[in-house]
Chains A and B, each alone.
Chain A
Amino acid sequence: MAFCTGCSLLCDDIEVDFEGGKIGRTMNLCRKGRGHYDSLCVDRLAPTVDGSEVGIDDAVSKAAEVLAGAENLLLFGWGNSTLAAQKVGVEMAKKLGCVIDDPSSYSQGLITETILKGELPTCTFDDVRNFADVSIYWGDDPSSSHPRHLSRFSYFPRGEKRQRGYEEDREAIVIDVRKSPTAEIAADGFFKIPPGGDGDFMGALMATLGGKIPKVEDKKKMLNLGTKLRKSKFGVIFTGLGLAHSVKGELDEFVSLVGKLNELTRFSVIPSLGDYNTRGFNQTLFDETGHVDRVSFKDGVNHGPEFGIAKYLDACDAVMVVGSDPAAVLPASLARKLAKIPMVAVNSHRTFTTDAAKVTVPIAVAGLEAGGSALRTDGVKVEFDAVVKSDYLPDVEVIERIMEAV
């Protein structure tokens, strides 16, 4: 069996045949996973300096030169890196006394950090499959972002105490601005809210759970939801970017709501994180510093918004981006700032970011060309082996070599 590192579900039941270096027949991959596998032969990154192709050794030494000359260095990315590479990355940030951050600083970092601090209860996907009778997808559309989420864990499968699966044993609730593919599946369980309306929805649900009449248009639907949640044996809330962006860094109301649900029954939270090992990076940095992102090792350990990529771009004079494509995601004004800073980009594929980098260093695709380990989005550790031979170096080896050269 092979693994898929196409998203943070890290599916472990993949069968694949290679036909002359290309992907042939596969089993159990979703469309996104198949795209990830097929990408093995598309747009691979070459080692370059100032846009000209060089040998890997020259790229590594030039990368080290860029990093060594910096006063205010940012190491960014890491969600598509193995745990071993992430560990070396954090070591490197300590050694160089620089800033380290990942895309969770503009996505679900706060939710993950609150879980790691033990302030939001969580559970594993195996608990979900076996015991959950209510799955709430909040600002989250796993049918698009994590395509096998509902079929492997959260809605369709039968489990130990959920022998009748979605037909009778599970409810799907979607709270979203858009009628997403997941909302289509939830049918009557879809609650459409206006943009930024998550806080009001939380307030109304809190009131309902507290036995009050909620101040919403469709009172009956909200009261029914309250009854459903109160009667559930074990519910899980899957959070997505929609929720993270709507609460804008203020999680107190959500934490209170989950607390209230736990007074009445049992509820857990699992974030649907983007990159295959976002959870791994957040955990690795948390274990070292007590924070999941935006950390400076300049004078001891410091943490704050000023060390998130969005703000730190104003201060930094060199960047190393590993396995991430911030130039494609950040607002154009910030992407332009990023492109003007001397940048080293380590990636398996060509991206917007690698195109803007001074130095590019290619790596193997983890889970296919290189083995390693990662944390699934529910925090469960998985280990995988390479399934195809490759000349590309594993990410950990490249990061180690750059660190040694610095």
Chain B
Amino acid sequence: MAGAKEVTVVTYRGIFQEVEEALGMYSDGYRDQSAIVSLDGGDIKELGVEDGQPVILETGSGKVVVAAKLSEDPHPGLAFMPSSPWSAQLVSGEVEESGFLDLKSFMAKVSLSPAKEAVTSIEEIAERIKAP
């Protein structure tokens, strides 16, 4: 389907995100470094997305809007996302038998936001967590 694609998302920590996190998670700088997903050039084209445009990431566990970033290197079918409260919305809370919790990779649907939704704010994620 044009405008939507299943990808494997792998999380990582970025240096600039680390810096912004030290300076406070509620800052715009932290959001700009965290609420992003790096997509393969071919995938981004197939989705009809422009570099920097908001996209919806959705799994059985949750949904967020983050900014798409065009990767310099090819990695079709793979997407990279900084590990943050945004990625945590998408990760399953299911614990493996060994007790291990896989926070590192998961399958997600990435799609264009038809309503041109803005990037999910950190305040909204905080509200979701505290909601009764």
A contact residues vs B (CB 8 Å cutoff): 6, 31-32, 34-36, 38-39, 42-43, 105-106, 141, 143-145, 147, 177-181, 195-196, 241-242, 245-246, 248-250, 294, 304-306, 308, 310-311, 327-337, 339, 349-352, 355-356
Contact = CB atoms under 8 A, between A and B. Distances in A.
Interface of B: 8, 10, 12-16, 18-26, 61-62, 73, 75, 78, 80, 83-85, 88-89, 91-93, 95-105, 125-126, 128-131
Contact of A195 (B13, B78, B96): B78
Contacts of A330: 88, 93, 101
Nearest to A313: B93
Contacts, number: 149
A351 B129 contact: no
Nearest to B17: A144
Contact of B101 (A35, A180, A246, A331): A331
B88 A42 contact: no
A328 B19 contact: no
A174 to B, nearest CB: 13
B96 A248 contact: yes
A306 B10 contact: no
A152 B84 CA distance: 28
A32 B23 CA distance: 10
A249 B95 CA distance: 12
A294 B128 CA distance: 28
Contacts of A34: 19
Contacts of A355: 126, 130
A245 B23 contact: no
A332 B88 contact: yes
A32 B95 contact: no
Contacts of B96: 248-249
Given A248-B102, A308-B99, A355-B130, 7 more contacts: A38-B22, A147-B15, A177-B105, A246-B104, A249-B96, A332-B93, A332-B128
Given A144-B18, A311-B95, A336-B131, A106 B23 contact: no
A41 to B, nearest CB: 10
Contacts of A337: 93
Given A106-B101, A106-B103, A335 B10 contact: no
Nearest to B91: A331
A305 B130 contact: no
Given A31-B15, A32-B15, A145-B18, A329 B83 contact: yes
A178 B12 contact: yes
A94 to B, nearest CB: 22
B93 A310 contact: yes
A105 B104 contact: no
Nearest to B102: A245
15 contacts: A35-B20, A106-B101, A177-B105, A178-B12, A178-B80, A196-B105, A245-B105, A248-B98, A308-B99, A308-B101, A310-B101, A328-B88, A331-B92, A334-B93, A352-B25
